[in-house]
Structure 1
């Protein structure tokens, strides 16, 4: 029997044991999962429903059966959530770039905060003493880094430029993107027309986007040398649209500027009077407004004093390290990618900072014998990738560390590491909150403060 949260429509039937006659169901949505899909249940088995929100009743068509859960797609909303809004993008539901445009901004924040707290309690067995106010900024046109796929579709006889579809198999047929910086998002169709007229239209699989404060750059990956005609087309496009154009014929080291020849990428952190230069394929935070607010909040949470010694792990180009060095006595940044460390050192000199040192080290291996790991620090900043910092927490933080700020891009790994800091290292989770780095997506970025 179906439970009361899932009812058959009058003209369709469904069998739990198999032998289905049809797969259209009327479902009550009770929750959201980590990727933004709604959750319903039939006889205790979860169904993940794309395009559905908690509190809604929807007609959904089953599209995949699994042992422990099923998947479905909303076909009609019978009872809408008060948080449902009209998606701004005409391609929502097809393009895989966003999954939550149908949920109000306030609803998105509430959902992400709920996911963060549930992860902390379920995985880490910890609860923050205080909740930080969510960090928010522009909801549209915010994305300054990204990768667009390029595909010439023989059956359609034309070229597509866009993100992947929800199923990941095909390039979405889009004309504009609402979350990319307008300099790029408004020119998706123009890019498709440009590449569609090139000799290399079948040999150009992707375009990277990298925007500094003064230049928005496109990096064209090409599998074969470009003809003179193609180079002229790209050059004319760059000049007419006032965009930087880089070419990438091979690996990351092969990237070079086509126009302007002296192309320079950088972004400023005005509150700290810092200017950070970067290469087109370097990692930078994709949301400028949230990045500036995140840096300010990190400085505030660390409660920096003029004599503090601070360790910044997974420091990248020095996005946090250099602003910290404006306020602390000594800052040490450690990063796994040697090229980023080299540019971080250059950025320190460029900003006339002499109280900061950078080291290259694989932070997923035991580094306790290294000179930097043997030093004593007062404060620790962690900004790891999705996998978290469990390996580091085997030997850090040292007993001298009084405060740890953890910047996270995955609530599950943050929760695990929070449990380690609290239960093994004697810290308390004083505060935590979400940062809306990726509006309209299900990504949950957060920040947490641990105190001795």
Structure 2
């Protein structure tokens, strides 16, 4: 047997999607592409003093739930890491990862002994859900994704996570002469689906400034490919320009509709942030509204508000909503969304969130509820401030369970009680997990 191959039994799956096992030398071994309870042959790829990493090359005793990954690039592409489990198994794994982090937290007592942790909300469908994908361009001009822990590009013909119009557009681009010209001077590209029109926009990161011929090729692309209606260029040393195509009359906005008795339409600038899974985003918005339960007297603070994903729906019932976000394009979009939906009781501030919260505390203007949706790094130092900004309730929307648990420890220590923990699968086929947490001020802190 290859000396780099070891046979181990997987104890559990931990955050990051790795299986945890004990190597024969006593080191902790983190294994990709395995399931709990399996005995697997593992190729060791990285060794450190107390831990090592590897990937399963053979399951000697596969467990129920293991399946053949449908993607031909699985294992090489660095995106998906749970396709070897069927979807019910993936949901169970994510629930277990979150529960493991909570139980091991030294300051969140008895978290597994009461019903605050709800069953995970799965996605339907678990494939074809992404509204946008970002791809690298290899040396031959082929679009692809980065290899796991590498800068190498794995060229792909389609992505099973992408929406159908995106894959149709990708297929058309691969054989198009105009695209080959553009690809030769492009490092990365994004394909973005506009749910309102059903069309796709293409955003290219060029290696050098835009030239007139590039604009001509962009117009050729939109004339040739029915699914594509806009092309944008940007660079590391120059701002975004465009759109080009269809008479150059298209806007730089994408949009979607929040369904309901009175639908809302939200839009954002291409190059800005939005959730990639619009179906799950709809569920998440509905959950936040049900948790906040705004009244006509409530003041709500929305931290990391983006283009108003939560602010705009909440403003329908609240007295006032204040959104804070550091990204300028997101704030522009949020203000436009308030205006287009005829809401006058919300305001949006472009600011570093930590600095803005310090200013709000200095002004002694607390809010009834604070909603926060931070990036993967979590709240960090902000955990000490948000609790003082809310009189009644905190709603924390997390995209990383490890930083979430860290922040919950701080909030619980500051007299906040956890009432609900709701995991939601925003990213099927990957280990990533969205979690919504409702906290209320405990009596001792009131």
TM-score by length of 2: 0.89
Which position in structure 1 is the counterpart of 2:121? 135
1:145 aligns with 2:126: no
1:27 aligns with 2:8: yes
Give the 3-state SS of the residue equivalent to 1:369 in structure 2: helix
Q: 1:336-415, aligned counterparts within 5 Å?
A: 336-365=326-355, 367-370=357-360, 374-398=364-388, 401-415=391-405
Q: After alignment, is 229-238 or 377-386 more displaced?
A: 229-238
CA displacement, residues 63-115 of structure 1 (integer Å, 9 cap, x when unaligned) = 22221212222222211110111211111111112111111212111211222
Out of 54, 69, 72, the residue aligned to residue 87 of structure 1 is: 69
Which position in structure 1 is the counterpart of 2:221? 237
CA displacement, residues 316-368 of structure 1 (integer Å, 9 cap, x when unaligned) = 11010000001212111111123321221121111100111111221133642
How far apart, in 2, do the equivalents of 1:221 and 1:368 lie? 37
Question: Does the aligned pair in 1 maintain the 2:297–2:319 contact within 8 Å?
Answer: yes
How far apart, in 2, do the equivalents of 1:238 and 1:400 lie? 49
Which position in structure 1 is the counterpart of 2:158? 176
Give the 3-state SS of the residue equivalent to 2:380 in structure 1: coil
How far apart, in 2, do the equivalents of 1:75 and 1:369 lie? 54
Question: Does the aligned pair in 2 maintain the 1:26–1:58 contact within 8 Å?
Answer: yes
Which position in structure 2 is the counterpart of 1:300? 290
1:270 aligns with 2:259: yes
- Give the superposed CA RMSD: 2.3
Which position in structure 2 is the counterpart of 1:289? 279
Which position in structure 2 is the counterpart of 1:67? 49
CA deviation after TM superposition for structure 1 residue 407, in Å? 0.2
Which of the two has greater helix per residue? Answer: 2
CA deviation after TM superposition for structure 1 residue 56, in Å? 1.0
5+ residue gaps, structure 2 = 442-446
CA deviation after TM superposition for structure 1 residue 448, in Å? 0.6
Aligned residues between the structures: 427
Question: Does the aligned pair in 1 maintain the 2:35–2:85 contact within 8 Å?
Answer: yes
Which position in structure 2 is the counterpart of 1:207? 189
Question: Does the aligned pair in 1 maintain the 2:192–2:201 contact within 8 Å?
Answer: yes
Give the 3-state SS of the residue equivalent to 1:343 in structure 2: helix
Which position in structure 1 is the counterpart of 2:444? none
CA deviation after TM superposition for structure 1 residue 211, in Å? 2.1
Which position in structure 1 is the counterpart of 2:245? 259
